[in-house]
Homo-oligomer: A and B are copies of this chain.
Amino acid sequence: MQRYFIDQAYQPSVEISGEAHHHMSRVMRMTVDDQVFLVFNDQTAVKAKIVAIDNEQVTLEEVEKDDLQRELPIDVTIASGFPKGEKLELIVQKGTELGAHDFIAFPGESSVAKWDAKKQQKKQQRLNKIAQEAAEQSHRQVLPTVNFASEKELIAHFTDYDAVLIAYEESAKQGEQAQLVQTFQQLKAGQKLLVVFGPEGGLTPKEIESFQTAGAKLCGLGPRILRTETAPFYLLSAASFYYELQH
């Protein structure tokens, strides 16, 4: 069933215009009695049915609440050094399916991609659209956002989180295996985790030092070397397995 994120607080009966109306009426050709999922901006999710639809707006009424908890118990933010090509699109799409709470893209020292402010703005719009589509498809109750930051701004935000990890290839090579499990054991439901991933060339020793000085811990993700866009999938899947299947 189609899912729509509605930018207003929960109400049992709503009138919707704009993009969601267009999608229901034009793209999906829905009519009275058709059902959809609505997710309000307070995270309430309901199954609703169309009671009226015209060229301007659609009116929906709640059928029942969607009570299954679909969000990871901890909020995981993925920070990615600008990767090449369309990899950020892949990270945001799959990362949203896998439960990421938010994304931050930053220019790593090794990043080949150099995006000016205008390009960043365009890319950000596109990435937020991808996050929305993936959130609808995967039945999320939270709509992840994508933001751009400088490394300095990223570090300044470390204090917003209960733990900050650096996914570090050298940790994998050296067989570091304990930090991720320890971090999950420490973080309780409702707490916030930031994980920083380097671009293709990796994080530089200087970056690692800055991040560590600001409180981040190095963390391995198993013994295989993962590409920059694959590592976040591992992290999020492991978080889901730990918090949603094991505990």
Partner-B contacts on A (CB < 8 A): 68-70, 94, 97-99, 137-140, 173, 175, 177-178, 180-181, 220-227, 230, 233-238, 240-242, 244-246
Given the complex, which residues of B lie within 8 Å of A137, measured CB to CB?
A: 225, 227
Known contacts A223-B244, A234-B240, then 9 further A-B pairs from the complex at CB < 8 Å, ordered by chain A residue: A97-B225, A97-B227, A98-B226, A98-B230, A99-B224, A137-B225, A222-B240, A236-B237, A237-B238
Q: Which of B68, B97, B173 contacts A230 (CB 8 A)?
A: B97
> How many angstroms from the CA of A88 to the CA of B245 in the assembled complex?
27
A143 to chain B, nearest CB (A): 13
A178 to chain B, nearest CB (A): 8
Q: Which of B138, B223, B237, B244 contacts A237 (CB 8 A)?
A: B237
Given the complex, which residues of B lie within 8 Å of A242, measured CB to CB?
A: 241
Q: Which of B68, B181, B244 contacts A246 (CB 8 A)?
A: B181
A106 to chain B, nearest CB (A): 23
> How many angstroms from the CA of A69 to the CA of B222 in the assembled complex?
10
Contact A223 B68 (CB under 8 A): yes
Given the complex, which residues of B lie within 8 Å of A237, measured CB to CB?
A: 233-238, 241
In the A-B complex, the 5 residue pairs with the smallest Cβ-Cβ separation, listed nearest first, are: A237-B237, A238-B241, A222-B240, A234-B237, A138-B224
A222 and chain B: residue at smallest CB distance: B240
Mind listing 13 A-B residue pairs with CB under 8 Å? Answer: A69-B223, A70-B223, A97-B227, A98-B233, A139-B225, A180-B245, A181-B245, A221-B240, A222-B241, A230-B233, A237-B241, A238-B238, A238-B241
